Amino acid sequence: MKAIELKNQQDWFLIDDNENEKTQYVFTDEIYSELETIIVAADFALDYPLLLGPHLYAPNLKILGFRGQGCKICIHRLNIHGFSAPNIETIGFEDIGITQIPEFILKFKTIRDIHFRHEKVQEMPAALFGLICLQTLRFQYGSQIPVIPDAIKSLVNLEYFDFWGATIHYLSPDLFRLPRIKYINFTDTSYNPSREVEEAVGEFKMNNSNDFHGWQDYQTR
């Protein structure tokens, strides 16, 4: 598998996992056509032009990740221009300082895994619930989403929902009734469940293969 790792100082490397080597490259259309993974990690603002704009075409790209506050400009440009990755499956964000789900990822209908770590995301936009291939959705350590709406019932292939450390004012019981859901985590999440949600949790836990972590693990704040 080939991957790009873009780090501080604009050191651009192509990584060959088989040989565990890093080679500095000038990235061309041919390079992008082979890539399966792109990871951008930057602590201060840098502009990665080869990741930006509608000219980027990565037909084999499966994984895209961003780490560090220096990725903000890249994400901003991608929201404006987008890029073509028809087979992308996983996108992650960590320690960037974003408060909204980036618009560009909501256009990838093939996406299966979206995760946020240490990001203060404040809402789930309506377009998120059109990603019907989504299997894993994670908001870990920092989410500020107060509402998990009834529209979540549209994510019929969702199997894994991880929502760690937030305060919820409304939680749809439909989350627990999704046909493929197996794992739900609300550890350290402040929520006073309604009767309907408690009933839905009870139904979910009746299946021994299901795994639930929630408000029994903490005192509601």
**pLDDT per residue as tens digits for the range 151-196:** 999 999 999 999 988 889 999 999 999 999 999 999 888 888 999 9
Contacts of 49 (CB under 8 A, 6+ apart): none
CA distances from 49 to 100, 103, 112 (A): 23, 19, 26
Tokens 């009767």: give the residue: 195
Tokens at 183, concatenated: 């794992």
Tokens at 156, concatenated: 């019929």
Tens digits of residue pLDDT in 106-119? 999 999 999 999 99
Tell whether the model's pLDDT for residue 29 goes beyond 90.
no
pLDDT number for residue 177: 96
| All structural domains of the chain with their residue ranges | 1-96, 112-221
The chain-wide mean pLDDT, for the chain, equals 82
Domain with residues 112-221, CATH architecture: Alpha-Beta Horseshoe (3.80)
Q: Please, are residues 114 and 138 in contact by the beta-carbon 8 Å criterion?
A: yes
Average pLDDT over residues 195-217: 89
